Structure 1
Amino acid sequence: MLKVQLTGILIWLCINAVQAKGVEIKVLQMNIWQEGTMVKGGFEAIADEISRLEPDIVMFSEVRNYHGKMFISRILHALKERGKTYYGENSPLDVGILSKYPIEKQAPNRPSEGDAGSVLKARIRINGQTVVVYSAHLDYTHYACYLPRGYSGVTWKKLDTPVTDRIKVEKANRESMRDEAIFHFIEDSKKEKGNIILLGGDFNEPSHLDWNEKTKDLWDHHGTIVRWDCSTMLMEAGFKDAYRTKYPNPVTHPGFTFPSDNKGVPEQKLSWAPEADERDRIDFIYYMPSKRIKLKDAVIVGPAQSIIRGKRMEENSNDRFIEPLDVWPTDHKAVMVIFCIK
């Protein structure tokens, strides 16, 4: 009997030691460009990259469920063929979530009226902690970061002159529904106090941390400093931008995610403002800081080349890239962040 009791105590101590030390999780955010259909072999490349990177959580943007074929079911099957077990649930939204851990519950999270973009919410249990994951793909219209670059963010046509008045840029930005979606997310996240909260997605909007005094004369910002709504709202609500927390200097580590080069696609199909430097960081992973989660690392996944003024060019920043082995399925770069959950 004593031996059994001692064995039970040892097992209990081992379990608690592991939980105290924490478990690392890799979180991948990826815009998959119409489910990879814009690139030859794109769908298989999505599965190949996930299989290679082995993220614990994946947040997808641009899920389409073409012809009634549910993307999440298809990608789960493709990963299983590669010997990888993931969990996920289909959704009518254009976002998706995969997890190595079973998903306890999943549901849309967005305002009941209007088209504020898609936000999907899932509840996952990891290392004894409830992790609440939100995957977002925000309104792509009124892409106001093109105004200082001399392009319309509505028609995508070249303007007679760049718009460098900060007030005008911010006003144009608020005509989108992105801020409404983030407001709704913040309000919902307040219900999850005490849980670990992650938000990832293609915001179709830069960060105010990237359009500041240091960068006002770079990347065709033309002297403009902008307090972009979504990043400002999230910061004021207490959320941390994982990439910018790891790399606080936007000059040395701009972390551009769009437009990415893609060797399988002609340059003209990768650029929306071909005479401008339109590079921006519009794909993000945010987290609510707490004692139970620690940021360990962040990296850009995708080609080390971008499209600059309509041409393929190598990035010369200090950003780290995990480059694709072969086909890259999208016109965005992905973001991968490593956390430790205690």
Structure 2
Amino acid sequence: MKLLKLIFTVCCYILIVNCTPKKQQSLTVLQFNIWQEGTVIKDGYNAIINEIIHSNADLIALSEVRNYNNTNLNERLIASLKEKGYTFYSEKSEDSGILSKYPIIDQTQIFPLKNDHGSITKAIINVNGTEIAFYSGHLDYLNCALYLPRGYHGSTWKKLDAPITNLVEIEKINLQSQRDDAIKSFIEDAKNEINNGRIVIYGGDNNEPSHLDWTEATKNLYDHNGVVMPWNISLDLEKNGFIDAYRNIFPNPVTHPGFTYPANNTAINIEKLAWSPDADDRDRIDFIYYYPDSRIKLNTSKVFGPKGDISKNKRVLENTHDVFLEPLNIWPTDHKAVISEFTLNIK
């Protein structure tokens, strides 16, 4: 009889636990290259503030944090948003930065900036009792090998005698950057955070495309010149279990290329936007990645920015099925951002 009562009690407990509804909330993540803190575009800083509000993002990964004129960008952003009635948290950083609607428990640079070769910043953020390890990356812009098949040098952006399409040569030059070193640091650190029971999300301007975009289906598009490239960063992330949010929602790079650079910013002359003026260098180099976890579910992912690009020194509109969140008025940057919305199961 005692055994039957024990079994009955255990069964009731399991039933109650499984039937108790989980608390859920939306969590919107924004990856946002702010182009030298908005200083390149007239009224660019105010545009950054307005677009942050427009995005309704909870966690924001910033690229090109400069702290110009001995100011702290984090303090300026917090104050400007507070003036408009929004509370955010941020701590001082360099090159890559983090802005959050939720308190930051701790922040560190896991790949510190050195000689302008990129950086990754991490913050542990408390989202209503659930801890998230949120990473912001702005990776090395030199030896930018995506330009080689398009006939341009990846550090000087001078036109080459001919496009470089040999995969071994492209990878050799690509690995001369410090992008792979930064991502290795991220993966190693993220594994520790996963083992510690934290959710892991990364947002970054990686300055490198994805192998999911340079495929057989796209080898004759966008001046890939027949190249099917196993880009190092995206492969390393995929091999270690991280999921590319935009490609998870839109797996077809032909119908949904998701270009983030170079964006058609009509507020500035095209010469400031075209680094390889004779080429079509449209590409997706801004990303949100996350590690699968039962507590989060990806719902949507969008390109955030103008519906236009620069190709062969012209302003063009994509003929694609990409999903956009279009800006309010002034767009402050030469990149498009990426915005992904998750459902988060909280305690």
TM-score bracket relative to the smaller structure: over 0.9
Do residues 153 (structure 1) and 172 (structure 2) align?
Answer: no
Distance 2:259 2:193 in 1: 31
RMSD after superposition: 1.6
| Paired residues of 1:116 and 1:180 also in contact (CA < 8 A) | no
Write the deviation string for residues 215-266 of structure 1: whole angstroms up to 9, x where unpaired: 1111000000111111010001110000001100000000000000111100
Distance 2:109 2:139 in 1: 13
Out of 250, 255, 264, the position equivalent to 2:267 is: 264
Please report the TM-score for the alignment, with normalisation by the length of structure 1: 0.93
Shift of 1:111: 6.7
Write the deviation string for residues 162-187 of structure 1: whole angstroms up to 9, x where unpaired: 11111111111001000001001111
Distance 2:113 2:81 in 1: 34
DSSP-derived class of the 2:126 partner: strand
Q: Which residues of 2 match residues 1-342 of structure 1 at below 5 A? A: 20-91=22-93, 93-110=94-111, 116-193=117-194, 194-342=197-345
Write the deviation string for residues 62-113 of structure 1: whole angstroms up to 9, x where unpaired: 000001111111011111111111111112x211111111111111112798
Amino acid at match of 1:236: K
| Paired residues of 1:139 and 1:204 also in contact (CA < 8 A) | yes
Shift of 1:54: 1.6
Distance 2:184 2:290 in 1: 16
Task: Return closer, same or farther for 1:74/1:111 CA change in 2, 3 Å cut-off.
Answer: closer
Greater shift in the superposed pair: 145-154 or 107-116: 107-116
Amino acid at match of 1:55: A
Gaps of 5+ in 2: 1-15
Distance 1:284 1:319 in 2: 15
DSSP-derived class of the 1:335 partner: strand
Shift of 1:340: 1.0
Please report the TM-score for the alignment, with normalisation by the length of structure 2: 0.91
Shift of 1:128: 2.9
Distance 2:98 2:254 in 1: 32
Shift of 1:127: 3.8
Distance 1:112 1:81 in 2: 31
Amino acid at match of 1:79: L
Shift of 1:115: 6.3
Distance 1:135 1:17 in 2: 35
Distance 1:17 1:267 in 2: 57
Amino acid at match of 1:61: S
Shift of 1:37: 0.3
Shift of 1:294: 0.6
Identity %: 52
Write the deviation string for residues 10-65 of structure 1: whole angstroms up to 9, x where unpaired: xxx9xx967x1421110000000000000000000000011122200111000000
Task: Write out the 4+ residue segments of structure 1 that deviate beyond 6 Å after TM superposition.
Answer: 111-115
Distance 2:24 2:325 in 1: 25
Distance 1:114 1:184 in 2: 17
Write the deviation string for residues 294-332 of structure 1: whole angstroms up to 9, x where unpaired: 110000110001001111111111001111111000000
DSSP-derived class of the 2:111 partner: coil
Distance 1:60 1:113 in 2: 18
Aligned length: 326
Distance 1:17 1:142 in 2: 53
Task: Return closer, same or farther for 1:262/1:17 CA change in 2, 3 Å cut-off.
Answer: farther
Gaps of 5+ in 1: 1-12
Greater shift in the superposed pair: 41-50 or 187-196: 187-196
Amino acid at match of 2:204: G
DSSP-derived class of the 2:121 partner: strand
| Paired residues of 2:54 and 2:328 also in contact (CA < 8 A) | no
Distance 1:114 1:89 in 2: 22
Shift of 1:116: 4.8
Amino acid at match of 1:219: Y
